[in-house]
Structure 1
Amino acid sequence: RWVSIDDVAPVLMHSVIMSEDGQFCFHRGVDLGELRGVVDDALAGEATRGASTITMQTVKNLFLWSRPLGSVRKVVELPLAVYFDAVMSKRRILEIYLNIAEWGPGIYGIEAAAQHHFGVSARQLSRRQAALLAVSLPNPIARNPARPGPGLRRLANLIERRAGRSGAYVGCLD
């Protein structure tokens, strides 16, 4: 069920931003610094990390999920993310993202995730639950926020602390 961002616990929004895209409020859809780092790593023959912003992930999930893969998709995704960021508020982008993201096998949307994993509404998520959900996003099939292993618990501890000090990093949501 789709939920308004007004019906999502702020701590969940803060946790997701701090876990997935710490520069969300400052970039224009694409984090050029992160993207540059990935390109530099690739050119140096090193393993690359993800550089997708929340906006890029939203665009991919909305428009490109069954389209070309890899670098071809990125070529389409980048300008779409910049456009999306230009025509929508950060608050609206995050609302869409939270409602279409996969939070577990066959679990789409934050309300379904909160209910499935913790038996509460998205509005009632605790700081700990929010952090556990946020750190499950990169691999929602393998990471179970309701039964976290030691590694997931450590990540959640870090995100819980960062979300508590997020301040200006989440200022675009006001």
Structure 2
Amino acid sequence: MTAHGKDESGGLSEQLQSALDASGVVGTWDWDLVRRIARYDRGAAELLALDPDLAGRDIRGDMAMVGIHPDDRVWLRNEVGRSVGIGGVFLAEYRVVSARGEVRWLLSRGRIYQDPHGRPVRSKGILIDITESRDESQGYVAMPKERVQHPIDRAAGLLLEARKALDESGAEVPSHVRVALDLALFEVGTQIARRSHH
């Protein structure tokens, strides 16, 4: 049996399929947050990307969320962005619209993984169809509890963001500004390295 529940003959094992059906799980997702790529199983690809043939393939940008109800896209994207910055368990309820125009409610549950420096790198989870238990009220995202971050780690993140902003701006930046920023990053990095060895 593989990690995706397929037995050696290529079919989904009956026991696993029964368990998934009983739990209401209709799909799984895996986001590479660094490369901004989504990977879905067949169920998630059909519900979120409206194309089950995209299962197991890299999906980029808006194509990964085309199935989400138009009224839920903006707030969900904003709230997911906030959750990614915090890390930990992710939980959201929102609507999708199938290729046939059918509206379904999904519960998306997963975990956001961070690297040793607290940067989000990956998120994996499941989709559960909760249409039968939902009314037409608004969806939500349950925010994970914000972990206390060491000030030096936070400073490193802010300095990296500042350098990225300068690089992406396209504006001409005086060389002494870049040197000062790189020097600050070097000093902060040195402090982080010292702390990790104690």
Give the alignment's TM-score, normalised by structure 1: 0.27
Greater C-alpha radius of gyration: 2
**Bigger proportion of residues as helix:** 1
Task: Say which structure, 1 or 2, has more relative contact order (CA 8 Å, 6+ apart).
Answer: 1
